[in-house]
Structure 1
Amino acid sequence: MAQFSRADNSTLGRWWWTVDRWTLGCVGLLIGFGYVLMLAASPSVAARIGATRDMFIFKQVVFLSIAGVIVLATSMLTPKGVRRLALLGGIVALGLTAMTLVHGMEIKGARRWIALPMMSVQPSEFLKPCFAVVTGWLLAEGKRSRAFPGMLLSAGIFAVILLLLKSQPDIGMLSVITCVFMAQLFIGGLNMFFVGCGVAGMMAAFAGAYFAFAHVRSRVTRFLHPEQGDHYQIDTALQAFGNGGLLGRGPGEGRVKDLLPDAHADFVFAVAGEEFGMLVCLFIIGVFCFIVVRTLLKLLAEDDPFVVLATAGLVCGFGLQAFVNMASSLHLIPTKGMTLPFISYGGSSAMSVALTIGMVLALTRRRTQMSRFGDMPARRGRVTGRGAA
């Protein structure tokens, strides 16, 4: 792609010179780390469950390849295209999430997955990016026209998702979507009194989840009182970080992958810490921070409310998911089964995160129009999100 000149008016040429190539490069780095850490962590897990040694590796190669295609294809959309994709995808994901309550696979008391050949799908993963874009559009339209009930419609969609995720139950996913919605309301200019009410409501909801769900109560209790309950996974993960030190024990020399059942998924960050050390872990954290901060800084120059609200919601969900995974591995928060974007094993997670980043890249592209001479693109403001979806 580097051979494209700025005068290239082809679809790929326009895309290359308008997309945020720094963020795109960071996504490529994360996918590369995903391949490396899957090679390190997954063979031991596969052998422990009696599967072929390379089963997880082959699957993740396919998942991340599809994820890369999704990022590139989605990033070529216009804001209106992103909006339409989110509406269609949100409807499908909402229907499939509801279907899990009836026909879903039950794992550890939760119904979150639909069985497909060669893999299982978690539809609620795709609710995150679609919800962020749809609510961003509704809130933006509500700001443009006081007669449009954008806030009410957004709250109604959130209430439906809340009921579905509570019924599965999936409190972690619900917490992420709630934080995304609250961030969008705050950025959208919600009165600080109502922001405070929302934060108080979230705290009350978390307290209610503690008393209503045994698995939530167990995780919080074990976090607050380390002397109670089973801490095998988190103790092993912390030991892995200690064994890795500054530079790590070296590729393939880690031991945590032989001991943790979720070393390829929820605790893949511990595998990185043991085999590659603290410096590589800090680099991974830096890549995630770079994507989030760079995207938010780009929004400072944006004047389209839809782009601002939708992109902020998308990148908030992306960053929060990464934080929850890494903080759980380091025992900074109670353990939560949430994947590390592009790095942990998982088809649904990889594809939903790819959709998220693809939408971010599409919404933050520099929109261009041809100059009156027709040979060089002239920069102008981005296309606004006005109009029907």
Structure 2
Amino acid sequence: MAVVSRADNSKLARWWRNVDRPTIAAVGVLISFGYILMLAASPAVATRIGASRDMFILKQVIFLSLAGLVMLGVSMLSLNAIKKLAIVGGALALAATAMTLVHGMEIKGARRWIALPLMSVQPSEFLKPCFAVVTAWLLAERRKRRMFPGLPLAIVGFGVILVLLKSQPDIGMLSVITMVFMTQLFVDGLNLVLVAGGVAAMIGAFFGAYVIFPHVRSRVERFLHPNVGDHYQIDTALRAFGNGGLTGRGPGEGRVKDLLPDAHADFVFAVAGEEYGMLVCLFIIAVFLFIVVRSVLKLMREDDPFVIVATAGLATGFGLQAFINMGSTLHLIPTKGMTLPFISYGGSSALSIALTIGMMLALTRHRIGSASGQEPSFIMQKTVSA
């Protein structure tokens, strides 16, 4: 469907003409790398835990296939439908996140997952895109209706999320959502003094997390002091990049996947570095940058505050997640268990990132009268009939 006739006025044809096809192609590249690196990394991990060698591969094929369908399906929605999806999805994700505190699976001292028959779900993953869109809607509504308490409601919503994620605890996810929220407030035009106050409060919260949570303190101290604590995973990952060099050792020739328990998830970037080299790693980074920068640049011609603030938040969350995964693997920041979008193993991650990109595509889709969420052909028909 690379070429669609201008005479074709079907909903699918209009979507294809107006959607950001280069971003879809970039996501396809990331999903392709996800398949390739899962073939490389997951058999060794599965064998080590006594499972079938193909278990992770088969699951990831299903996850990424569903993710692609979710992304394309959501990208076809109107602006009003995106708002409704974010409100309903955010409410469900918030309730499920609260449920993890009572019925969640405890892994490494944290309750972040709900066990389902075929997979475990991390509800907070879906809070990121839904909260970004709901926040943008609240901030946009206060511009339309003077008495609408959009900002106080957004702050209350953020406060509820803060309490829930602190209780799990999931400081990494909370940090990402906080950065998304602060970015949206800044883009919306919040007074710079208040923005500076928010940044100061965020820095103070990081110091508080360092004091309160032992696992946060341990990770920070291991990052700052190479001689303190266990550095096995980071040292192994860094050696993998060194062994890979410029062009890599070749497909299937890497050794890091045999040594790291999370080689298919948190440290999949190290597998890419060892087997395919620095050039491929730089290409992966460039693809992530392309998606984020292109989404932001498309806002330069946008005049709908809701679209601008929502897309800025979604792009920030997507870019931050990629940076945290790659940065921690390269020891540029303290380690944090966060997946690399579309490449690391994980159903919750793949579907939530697909929801994020689908919303971004829907919001930035070329349309006339974007504030109403109506399709161009419908506007034209009304104009002609008038």
Q: Which TM-score tier does this pair reach, normalised by the shorter chain?
A: over 0.9
Task: Quote how far apart the aligned CAs of 1:6 are.
Answer: 2.1
Structure 2 distance, partners of 1:177, 1:358, is: 19
Q: Describe the SS at the equivalent of 1:300.
A: helix
Residue number in structure 1 paired with 2:150: 150
**CA offsets, 1:105-144, max 9 Å, x none?**
0001100000001210000000000000000000111122
Residue number in structure 1 paired with 2:267: 267
Residue number in structure 1 paired with 2:245: 245
TM-score, normalization by structure 1:
0.95
Structure 2 distance, partners of 1:225, 1:306, is: 44
Residue number in structure 2 paired with 1:370: 377
Task: Quote how far apart the aligned CAs of 1:367 are.
Answer: 1.2
Structure 1 distance, partners of 2:65, 2:379, is: 40
* Pair 1:19 & 2:26 matched: no
Task: Quote how far apart the aligned CAs of 1:2 are.
Answer: 1.6
**Equivalences for 1:68-107 in 2 at 5 Å?**
68-107=68-107
**CA offsets, 1:233-284, max 9 Å, x none?**
0000000000000000000000000000000000000000000000000000
Q: Describe the SS at the equivalent of 1:8.
A: coil
**Equivalences for 1:1-389 in 2 at 5 Å?**
1-368=1-368, 369-370=376-377
Q: Describe the SS at the equivalent of 1:112.
A: strand
The AA in structure 1 aligned to 2:75 is: S
Task: Quote how far apart the aligned CAs of 1:373 are.
Answer: 9.0
- Write out the 4+ residue segments of structure 1 that deviate beyond 6 Å after TM superposition: 371-374
Task: Quote how far apart the aligned CAs of 1:145 are.
Answer: 2.5
Structure 1 distance, partners of 2:150, 2:245, is: 51
Residue number in structure 1 paired with 2:372: none
Structure 1 distance, partners of 2:357, 2:317, is: 11
Percent identity between the aligned chains? 73
The AA in structure 2 aligned to 1:230 is: D
Q: Describe the SS at the equivalent of 1:106.
A: strand
The AA in structure 2 aligned to 1:61 is: V
Structure 1 distance, partners of 2:230, 2:379, is: 70
Task: Quote how far apart the aligned CAs of 1:372 are.
Answer: 9.7
Residue number in structure 2 paired with 1:386: none
Structure 2 distance, partners of 1:245, 1:187, is: 40
Residue number in structure 2 paired with 1:387: none
Structure 1 distance, partners of 2:335, 2:135, is: 29
Q: Describe the SS at the equivalent of 1:370.
A: helix
Structure 2 distance, partners of 1:145, 1:57, is: 50
**CA offsets, 1:186-222, max 9 Å, x none?**
0000111011100100000000000000000000000
The AA in structure 1 aligned to 2:347 is: G
Q: What count of residue pairs does the alignment treat as equivalent?
A: 376
Structure 2 distance, partners of 1:295, 1:373, is: 27
**CA offsets, 1:306-358, max 9 Å, x none?**
00001110010000000000000000000000000000000000000000000
**CA offsets, 1:131-170, max 9 Å, x none?**
0000000011112222111100000000000000000000
Task: Quote how far apart the aligned CAs of 1:370 are.
Answer: 3.0
The AA in structure 2 aligned to 1:63 is: F
Comparing 2-11 and 271-280, the one that deviates more: 2-11
The AA in structure 2 aligned to 1:126 is: F
The AA in structure 2 aligned to 1:301 is: R
The AA in structure 2 aligned to 1:212 is: I
The AA in structure 1 aligned to 2:146 is: R
Task: Quote how far apart the aligned CAs of 1:371 are.
Answer: 8.9
Structure 2 distance, partners of 1:215, 1:48, is: 26
Unmatched segments (≥5 aa) in structure 1: 379-389
Structure 1 distance, partners of 2:139, 2:367, is: 23
Structure 2 distance, partners of 1:90, 1:289, is: 27
Structure 1 distance, partners of 2:251, 2:228, is: 34
The CA RMSD over aligned residues, in Å, is 1.4
Residue number in structure 1 paired with 2:373: none
Comparing 34-43 and 6-15, the one that deviates more: 6-15
Q: Describe the SS at the equivalent of 1:264.
A: coil
Structure 2 distance, partners of 1:234, 1:51, is: 25
Structure 1 distance, partners of 2:354, 2:280, is: 23
The AA in structure 1 aligned to 2:162 is: L
The AA in structure 1 aligned to 2:262 is: D
Task: Quote how far apart the aligned CAs of 1:3 are.
Answer: 3.9
The AA in structure 2 aligned to 1:128 is: K
